[in-house]
Copies of this chain bind each other. A is one copy, B any other.
Amino acid sequence: VSNHGSEQVVARVNARLASFLAHKRAQADLLSPRAAELVDAITALTMRGGKRLRAVAIYAGFRAVTDASASAAMSGVPEGVLQLAAAIELLQSYFLIQDDWMDDDEERRGGPSVHAALAQRHGQAKLGASLAILAADLAVGFAFELLQSTEFPGQRAIQARLTFSEMHFEVVCGQQLDLLGHPDVTLTHHLKTGSYSVRGPLQLGALLGDASAEQLHALERFGRPVGLAFQLRDDLLGTFGDSRATGKPAGHDLREGKNTALVAEAREMLTEASRARLLRVLGQRDASDADIAALTADMERSGVRARVEARLNAHIEEAERALDQSPLSTSGVALLRELLGRIVVRDH
């Protein structure tokens, strides 16, 4: 058990997700027994893993703006935190289902992606894709339903709903820029991941805790670099990560042709011969393991990996500075530091 209660949050959020999805399955079953299939698909993906970093971020945002003694007096995790955390995890499932289909990814969290599982079951790729999109539709509907039924203090509900809508808007635009291979990888990351992985959840938790404008601002200053660090860590894992931990094959992002921060740096930094290899291998689904290994070795040798790790560390330092002398509670700051550690030290 962690010092700051985040393990307890994860366990409670998992329980809430399981009970919410069981309730929705029963509702679908009443409409038609076949309708439960889509809820089952969401449940399989949502409950099979996931680090629940966004759920912890909501809790951290809440704690950071709530008086420590008041937090201590509360028994456990507030209801609103559980609701919002379940909402953001289902928003995440919705994005993952769509992303995996868009990227033709067959695996996710150590099992088949939703469109792959449904295509397999029904024996048709297009039908599997269509049903996966419908499963994603249900998941985003559930996320909005949970958001709408969360009780916020005073007039904070309006701000929270706007934050949620903005977050949704930014992620979708970020995904669009990603699909179109937009050259500004930092902008794409800021929109696609930063928004709903860190900044958004922190703001939502803080609004639930009736944060002051100064507190919201401090969390924004912290959240922005953490979001960028989060994505750089993802990029490093997608290329150099251990497939047993990430649940995806090694070199996955290279075979996918993803325009990661590593690829952007590699285009600048590699020698001519290595760059030729990059251009030949990038986006080739059937690239050999030897080619992938040679390319990642090139990226190590030429300093691409070190450069991206240095940028990641600069973001971490910026985030840590934002916590110094901030208007946030001591226990909240401890939790935010723990969150930062989980995000940047993770192996999947």
Residues of A with Cβ closer than 8 Å to B? 27-28, 31-32, 34-35, 37-38, 98, 101-102, 122, 127, 130-131, 133-134, 137-138, 140-141, 144-145, 148-149, 158, 161-162, 165, 168-170, 172-173, 175-177, 179-180, 182, 184, 187, 191
Contacts and interface: CB of A to CB of B under 8 A. Distances in A.
B34 A177 contact: yes
23 contacts: A27-B169, A31-B170, A31-B187, A31-B191, A32-B173, A32-B177, A32-B184, A35-B176, A38-B172, A38-B176, A98-B134, A101-B130, A102-B130, A127-B179, A134-B175, A134-B179, A137-B140, A137-B172, A144-B144, A145-B165, A148-B148, A148-B165, A149-B158
Contacts of A101: 130
B187 A165 contact: no
A241 to B, nearest CB: 25
A172 B149 CA distance: 21
Q: Tell me how many chains of this kind the complex includes.
A: 2
Prevailing SS type, chain A contact patch: helix
A193 to B, nearest CB: 14
A184 B34 CA distance: 12
A205 B122 CA distance: 40
A149 B122 CA distance: 40
Contact of A130 (B31, B137, B145, B179): B179
